[in-house]
Structure 1
């Protein structure tokens, strides 16, 4: 807890003493679990929103139990729960529901990602909450959305990724459909959720003065990103297939292994970038070769072009390739892993990795705030903290719960 039992702490977060971001003064209630909902709230917290994160007493958010672990503590949690005030609350308990309604009275945004119907079962659906706070924006993240025949299905990111169709055209043609190596569906949905919340806040503050309910599924943001899928099938009957790193729509595009075992990615999909590449390879004849004379021709003869380029890479080490390409203005980049990234001068110059105060380990490094605001930048004020770290500050300082009731609610497992 954040203060001694004898002291009623201020309702203002300690982070208020730090840099003011563009969302300073906005209060967000994070009632989500795991990644998609909580990460949306984290993005808002990074830019100064006062995010109050709810967890179940005793066990906490499921992300507290995700690896990697250090000394029994999840390092993932340190990142996804950064910049938040943390409280515990049992939403299925009637007194817990009363306390939740009190939190909602002064909130701007509520984010939840339970299975559809759960908040309604608790008497906490949007219609009821809007009667308490008509200005509330409620963002609901779920696997398949709040409506439709699959709405009540459970929906983790892996299922949403499969349902989006993306794995069907991701990976090698002779291998199974390939899933991403990180929770892509959750991460993309969280960005759409945060964006949607701010759209609704803008509409509220500059439009009708009312909040609204927002329905974000995990699969739809991914489906929205595959721009040509629907129209290509609709007009030409195209069903996109797995081609490894190559794309059917443009060529060349692949990763190529160098003499010293490194990998370099290139994309030369415009005519100008392809011509630069051909000159840098010392093969200007590729520019006028009928097989490669334009993008459509290159796509048709993609395998032949790919073999020519791969052979060139195999005879040179990565540093020489990148030096040559940089001078020739070829669009290319080495494939980095995290051990490369932490030493990379561009990452360092952009402050993409920052050192953050942490209650358990002193200082930890993690990703900085993205995107960069030049006048009102966000910041990472602290890493994710202990379960219920801000219980006393919120319940006594913000909601006015007496010390006696606070102790009783804690003993009863309500908070």
Structure 2
């Protein structure tokens, strides 16, 4: 199937996570994504777990893309890139601000080649300001956005997530920004530049902490797995050493939970009528809920909560996810045939469209697998390709 983004050509010249993942999301829905890699490869190929020397993270983030090696620091690479830009719709890059300009590939130069081009620039701190040229990764965004300060146990240190949270949020935001710019291009007839700082999307998703500080002078405390907005809300251990998460954001659910665990007396307390009031008595509520859960096995807990129409979920690992019937019903995990690793399971596309569904066309390809195929479109024959290989411009 072509997918709703068929006909959109994306040059993914970014590395590691935020920019490349945005391109992956576009590829999932039919965009032709040409992954432009340094001849040494995107660092994500060697990042994290590997099997037989093959990077597993790459297999997911490189899915649906054509891999082309091209050294943009060389004049021959820059000239080829200009040819590719001429019929591209989108370029995604995450070089340090000023790098593209130094190569003669800044937005003003690319716009002259292709006025309809959308250039998405994804960096830690954006294109302007005193930090713009600093090197940075999602970890710094998680620290500077306020996320780490409010995450962790009350008496413990600020805590970072064990995965690329800020990068992932920035990737989804970048894909949205690109689609917004393409829609504007349809209306106005010309492209534009997107300046996306990785620190900003996570700053927005953290909620009203800036407003609360501005209006009340409040800073959110670290509360561990508890919430300052409602209770009971925590992770609880079961009798068979499982873990379950309970949330009571709605008043009616909080009341059902307390009836279920045999403590309806709490419901009559004046403080129980609001989430903030319950959060102020989290220790008492946790004791009631936790003691009830700890006396029962995980399956019994889940069944009782479901019958009571109270919100609960088991704490899963990947081993649990691939066996869960709900994920199977949603087809959240898909099996693909990889030319290097054989059958491989990974997360499916983010959402389902009823009329124009997306599709994962292939897993992350070997480095440079499509170099000859793609560059042939731009006048590079076998002889020229040999010369470029010899010069180290392609691999």
Structure 1 unaligned blocks of 5 or more: 1-18
- 1:214-363 equivalences in 2 (<5 Å): 214-363=194-343
- Kindly state the Cα deviation for residue 294 of structure 1 after the two structures are TM-superposed: 2.8
Query: Match for residue 23 of structure 1?
Result: 5
CA RMSD of aligned residues (A): 1.0
- Kindly state the Cα deviation for residue 317 of structure 1 after the two structures are TM-superposed: 1.1
Confirm or deny: 8 A CA contact 1:357 1:381 kept in the other structure.
Answer: no
* TM-score under structure 2 length normalisation: 0.98
- Kindly state the Cα deviation for residue 26 of structure 1 after the two structures are TM-superposed: 0.5
Query: Match for residue 14 of structure 2?
Result: 32
- 1:16-415 equivalences in 2 (<5 Å): 19-57=1-39, 59-205=40-186, 207-396=187-376, 398-415=377-394
| Partner Cα distance (1:154, 1:245) in 2 | 32
- Kindly state the Cα deviation for residue 239 of structure 1 after the two structures are TM-superposed: 0.6
List per-residue Cα deviations over 1:203-257 (Å, max 9, x = no partner): 101x211100001111100001112101111111111111101111222211111
Helix, strand or coil for the counterpart of 1:155? coil
Confirm or deny: 8 A CA contact 1:286 1:293 kept in the other structure.
Answer: no
Helix, strand or coil for the counterpart of 2:6? coil
| Partner Cα distance (1:66, 1:294) in 2 | 46
Q: Paired residues, what number?
A: 394
Helix, strand or coil for the counterpart of 2:343? strand
| Partner Cα distance (1:411, 1:275) in 2 | 72
List per-residue Cα deviations over 1:171-214 (Å, max 9, x = no partner): 10121111111111111101100110000000101x21110000
Helix, strand or coil for the counterpart of 2:24? helix
| Partner Cα distance (1:317, 1:141) in 2 | 47
Stretch of structure 1 that moved more, 146-155 or 373-382:
373-382
| Partner Cα distance (2:224, 2:85) in 1 | 48
Confirm or deny: 8 A CA contact 2:3 2:29 kept in the other structure.
Answer: yes
Structure 2 unaligned blocks of 5 or more: none
Confirm or deny: 8 A CA contact 1:354 1:365 kept in the other structure.
Answer: yes
| Partner Cα distance (1:189, 1:353) in 2 | 23
List per-residue Cα deviations over 1:103-162 (Å, max 9, x = no partner): 001111100011111111111000110010000000000010111111111111111111
| Partner Cα distance (2:384, 2:339) in 1 | 28
